[in-house]
Amino acid sequence: MTDKKTVALAFSGGLDTTVCVPLLEEEYDYDEVIGVTVDVGQPAEEFDEAEETAEALDLDHYVVDAKDAFAQQCLDAVKANATYQGYPLGTALARPVIAEAILDVAVENDCDAVAHGCTGKGNDQLRFEAVWRDSDLEVIAPVRELGLTREWEMEYADEKDLPVEGGNEGDWSIDTNLWSRSVEGADLEDPGYVPPEDIYEWTDAPGQKTTEDGEFETIEITFEDGYPVAIDGEEMPEVQLIEYLNDLAGSYGVGRTDMMEDRMLGLKVRENYEHPAATTLLNAHEALEGLVLTEEERAFKKQVDQQWAEKAYEGLLSAPLVDALDGFVDTTQQKVTGTVTVKFEGGQARPVARESDYAVYSESAASFNTESVDGIAQADATGVAKYHGFQSRLANEVAANAEAKKAELLTDGSGDESSEEN
């Protein structure tokens, strides 16, 4: 008698993961499927849907709270100013956290395999499997491996009387977590389609809200070693701080992105995102770095930040390269301690003031009202000004002289040829 074969499925209760349950039993010969839903800040109704669907399927269902781990990942991304093609990473940061939690449940339950309901056209399949393929468990992707379409899944669900509403999950495909909300699909797939206001839930229309006296609101964000730790002097845990800023900044219309995104598989897709807290914190953090880091540190860190964001987008923050990048980031962040005042105005979170004991700044040196500072006077810049651009001026002069000489030789040569012919 063979041992019972068990697979742990990343389970949301939506169409894709619901049809995966019987398919894993019928097509892959698994005796038992367990569903795992990981909480990274989704709306409560998504957990209700998952639990109700699991109960209807008689599915052993686990819910794992990973909000704290995910919030830490998000704030690590702030230290690295992590954006991909202009938007703050959200789903990309969440997927490895979810995958790790599912793998832990699978190992605890002596599972033989792990499975997901991702298609073969998106990024998430790669992010999940980058984590899982580092284990000894089999990795299964029914939707991709069986070439399933949305239409086929709906017909299959109807045929099997599965607990989904004909696969109708609304007009848009929405993914929500603590850090961001993405909206795609349907008419939004047309780059020329103007999205209606009702696709947005986290952000109000920009430019409409002001304070009682007609002014735009300002807040003060405190950073320690690159991490945001307090709002207006009130310390908050990571999850609470992010949720607070999502509500506040979102009410001012901060954090909307409508873009054409290049996926890892080479596809170009239209995406709409909401990320109020992420936008606010990234803007404030970069403003503080501008005060405390030297020009050379800032220039090199842009390269490091881009590499970090690329690996995060790929779901590969466990790569050895990222360990090296983190070493540089962590060193620079030892000075990123201070406060930044942010104004919410016109859908923007705009840094308007910053203070730090580590400021690489001298007001007296920069002021137009001081003549000499630390023995350095304005007149001392004369020599610098003379040398500044000297090599370029010399190169231009040499080139001009060479061209003039070349033209003179050509003229002389053509004159000689004419006289010989005559």
Contacts of 254 (CB under 8 A, 6+ apart): 203, 206, 276, 279, 280, 344, 347, 348, 349
User: What is the Cα–Cα distance from 210 to 226, expressed in whole angstroms?
Assistant: 30
Residue numbers in the known binding site are 10-18, 87, 117, 119, 123-124, 127, 173, 182, 261, 273
Q: What pLDDT score does 22 carry?
A: 97
CA dihedral (388, 394, 395, 397) positive or negative: positive
Rg of the chain over Cα atoms, rounded to whole angstroms, equals 29
The reply to whether CATH 3.10.20.30 applies to domain 176-293+335-361 is no
Residue numbers in the known binding site for ATP are 10-18, 117
Please list the pLDDT of the chain residue by residue as tens digits (422 residues). Answer: 458 999 999 999 999 999 999 999 999 999 999 999 999 999 999 999 999 999 999 999 999 999 999 999 999 999 999 999 999 999 999 999 999 999 999 999 999 999 999 999 889 999 999 999 999 999 999 999 999 998 999 999 999 999 985 434 557 889 999 999 999 888 999 999 999 999 999 999 998 777 777 778 999 999 999 999 999 999 999 999 999 999 999 999 999 999 999 999 899 999 999 999 999 999 999 999 999 999 999 999 999 999 999 999 999 999 999 999 999 999 999 999 999 999 999 899 999 999 999 999 887 676 666 676 777 788 888 999 999 999 999 999 999 999 999 998 888 866 554 444 44
Residue with tokens 């299959």: 156
What pTM value is reported for the model?
A: 0.90
Residue numbers in the known binding site for L-aspartate are 119, 123-124
Strand partners, 351: 342
The answer to whether residue 124 is catalytic is yes
315: tokens are 């779901």
Of these residues, 95, 181, 256, 354, which one is catalytic?
A: 95
Determine the CATH number of domain 6-169.
Answer: 3.40.50.620
148: tokens are 């399933």
Q: Running DSSP on this structure, what letter comes out for residue 215?
A: P
User: What is the Cα–Cα distance from 304 to 249, expressed in whole angstroms?
Assistant: 28
Could you tell me which of 347, 336, 209, 354 has the C-alpha nearest to residue 279? Answer: 347
Of these residues, 16, 39, 76, 305, which one is catalytic?
A: 16
The answer to whether residue 173 is catalytic is yes
The answer to whether residue 181 is catalytic is no
Q: Coil, strand or helix: which one is 17? A: helix
Residue numbers in the known binding site for L-citrulline are 87, 123, 127, 173, 182, 261, 273
The answer to whether residue 16 is catalytic is yes
Of these residues, 39, 76, 112, 124, which one is catalytic?
A: 124
User: What is the Cα–Cα distance from 88 to 63, expressed in whole angstroms?
Assistant: 27
Q: In angstroms, what CA-CA distances link 84 with 131, 271, 299, 310?
A: 21, 12, 18, 7
Ranges of each domain in the chain: 6-169, 176-293+335-361, 373-411
Of these residues, 173, 204, 251, 298, which one is catalytic?
A: 173
User: What is the Cα–Cα distance from 149 to 172, expressed in whole angstroms?
Assistant: 17
Strand partners, 32: 6
